[in-house]
Chains A and B, each alone.
Chain A
Amino acid sequence: MRDVKAPVLAWGAYLIVLGGSVAATKLVSGLMGHLFSLLCASIMASLILSFFMGLRVANNLLRVFALAGVMWLAIMLTLTMVDYVMRDIGECPNAQADDVARNAQGCPLDSAGNVRASDTGA
Chain B
Amino acid sequence: MYIQEANHIGIHVPDSDDLGNIFLENKCFLVQEPDYTGIIPSNILRRMGKAVRLGMGVALPIIQKYPVDAIIMGTANGGLEDCIKFLNQIVEFEEGVLTPTNFVQSTPNALAGQLAILTQNHCYNNTHTNNALSFENALIDLKLQFEDHENIQNAIVGAVDEISTYNFTIDCLTGIFIKKDQVAKNWVLENYKGAIAGEGATMFYLTKHSNNTSTIKIKAISVGLLLDEHEISENVKELLLKHQLSVNDIQFISTGRNGDERYQSIYDQVEALFPNAALNHFKSKCAEYKTATGFAVYEAFQTLQKQTKTSHYLIFNTLNQRQSLILIEKESN
Partners in one complex: no
